[in-house]
Chains A and B, each alone.
Chain A
């Protein structure tokens, strides 16, 4: 069959291209631009090559922020994923309880980030907050504004409260899609509860869990608003995760070049981890 060549089709791509250009390509290229140059007032730029990248990659400050960031992400993943699966497994499967649980689970997800930060800030205040005051009344020396351990504890708790629901909802959807015949066959095969989980439920949840882990990784790795409102990165730099540190550098110190370089490195890390993780998880999915 002969297909007619018609280059006019490209015209149809223009609206999308313009849209993407304004919301992604141009801002990103601006950052790239800053990352290789030194800026002065009056839009004076000087070429710096890879200097900012070297500076960032070798700086202790970046290493520390990256370390905190990785630790935070690992902690919340290790709590939220198992906890989410566990809650999904124990949720009711029919009746009014389903809707009640689903609504309750969705609530934290509907609250804006800065509100979550503010809520937890007040909730955890050692003198008047319910959590802070109760902990102190119970004899714990708790003050998240001054002790870094407490600040970490509060930040992690806040994130678990805010985001475990996402894992629950995704896992629950995955569990609901399992045909009853699987459970019946397992019952007849004499499978234990653990075997049912290990050989039926977990494999059937694999895809949704991959999505859940990816989303939770990306969101937690780029977390900004909630710890910014809760602790402001403190005490000291204890909870200054990558994005908080980045904003400090870019807007606090106005070091646009190093900040741009750091943004690109940051972006590259997220992209790489997601790509590697996704490919690992989906490696055996080819045939089915």
Chain B
């Protein structure tokens, strides 16, 4: 039970670092509150697993500190940190039965037989492993094995944090749903900090209260699913989250006035005396309407998903996607787009301007 803080954490797998690209993690500062359900979201290779392994103590960071409840644990091993971690691919001890697999982390910590039995049976019940409890673990299917891995992570009740590294990759879709809601349910029951690494936004958004988005070795935004959706702080968050993602269009800023290709764009933001090498407007497809006047576009394609229509349009500054209700009438040929002022953001060098 503790609050976990990462301070100025950087890590590189190389012995010397010259470029930005040599770092697997760059200057990470984050607090994980006790009992929170977090998702660590980002594309493959953005440093999620590295961050996780640093928290668990499998990797020593090149720079920075890890604090558990204010106490520096940077040089402590995983056992001393008392954490649980579940890996992407099932890790089971082939020679043991399912029961012994689940009991293994407890046995290593010298817990009494009776307590082990009770704990293991409880976890097995929850993961529906009771019927195979005394079979050899090596005979199980991939998802059966992954359930054992999950079980070994969940069986200890006193851990500081439970970390999941894309644990459902090998599980088939139907079971994925069940296991994910099980985890969520479990989180509410045991109230333990959980960090869930994934590159799947649906997984992240359904599991977590707070989503941490990573991009190219950096944390780009931390927020609730709604915040990430409504106000992405980085263009990456904009197009990574949402389906389809945010429209990002190059714009000009002239004396505080924002324009795309000569068309003035209204925002709530006050931009003055700031200079950037690149400025862009970001607007989610959900917040664009067709109007009598505005940004002129050509309609390229309309696809109806059943719930809504996705319209592909093309302006002189690039393609723009628009989401409209299934019942809406969509103009053909050319049209004008209007951006909702409250949800129109301006990004300078990919970061939001406020």
Residues of A whose CB lies within 8 Å of any CB of B are 179, 181-182, 184-185, 187-192, 195, 198-200, 202-204, 284, 287-288
Contacts and interface: CB of A to CB of B under 8 A. Distances in A.
B93 to A, nearest CB: 4
Contacts of B96: 199
A188 B85 contact: yes
Interface in B80-124: 83-85, 87-89, 91, 93-96, 104-105, 108-109
B77 A187 contact: yes
B108 A187 contact: no
Contact of B87 (A184, A198, A200, A202): A184
Contact of B58 (A184, A189, A200): A184
Given A190-B79, A287-B138, A288-B138, A185 B91 contact: yes
Kindly list the 5 A-B residue pairs having the minimum CB-CB distance in the complex, ordered from nearest: A190-B108, A185-B91, A189-B105, A287-B139, A181-B87
B36 interface: no
B56 interface: yes
B319 interface: no
B162 to A, nearest CB: 11
B152 to A, nearest CB: 6
B57 to A, nearest CB: 8
Given A187-B58, A189-B108, A182 B139 contact: no
Q: Is the interface of A mostly helix, strand, loop or mixed?
A: helix
Contacts of B95: 198-199, 202-203
A184 B85 contact: yes
Among B91, B95, B138, B149: residue with most chain A CB under 10 A: B91
Contacts of A202: 95
Interface in B33-60: 53, 56, 58
Contacts of B79: 187-188, 190
B136 interface: yes
B132 to A, nearest CB: 12
A196 to B, nearest CB: 10
A252 B305 CA distance: 90
Contact of A199 (B93, B109, B152): B93
Contacts of B58: 184, 187-188
B288 to A, nearest CB: 45
A198 B100 CA distance: 14
B91 A181 contact: yes
Given A185-B91, A192-B108, A200-B93, 10 more contacts: A181-B91, A185-B85, A187-B77, A187-B79, A188-B79, A189-B105, A189-B108, A191-B108, A199-B94, A203-B93
A190 to B, nearest CB: 4
Interface residues of B, number: 26
A195 to B, nearest CB: 7
A271 B116 CA distance: 47
Contacts of A287: 138-139
A184 B94 contact: no
Nearest to A191: B108
A188 B52 CA distance: 13
Given A200-B93, A203-B94, A190 B109 contact: yes
Contacts of B152: 185, 189
B93 A188 contact: no
A188 B84 contact: yes
B153 to A, nearest CB: 8
Q: Which of B79, B94, B96 counts the most A-chain CB atoms under 10 A from its CB?
A: B94
Centre residue among B78, B83, B84 by max chain A CB count within 10 A: B78
Nearest to B104: A189
A198 B108 CA distance: 14
10 contacts: A181-B89, A185-B85, A185-B149, A187-B78, A188-B79, A188-B85, A198-B95, A203-B94, A288-B138, A288-B139
Nearest to A192: B108
Contacts of B53: 184
A288 B91 CA distance: 14
A158 B165 CA distance: 50
A188 B139 CA distance: 24
A252 B124 CA distance: 70
A204 B77 CA distance: 25
Nearest to B89: A181
Nearest to B80: A190
A185 B139 contact: no
A205 to B, nearest CB: 11
A67 B62 CA distance: 61
A86 to B, nearest CB: 20
Contacts of A192: 108
Nearest to A206: B94
A179 B89 contact: yes
A110 B2 CA distance: 59
Contact of B108 (A184, A195, A204): A195
Contacts of A198: 95
A180 to B, nearest CB: 9
Which of B88, B96, B105 has the largest number of chain A CB atoms within 10 A? B105
Nearest to B136: A284
A191 B138 contact: no
B91 A182 contact: yes
Interface in B139-170: 139, 149, 152
A181 B88 contact: yes
Interface in B272-331: none
A203 B92 CA distance: 11
A204 B93 CA distance: 10
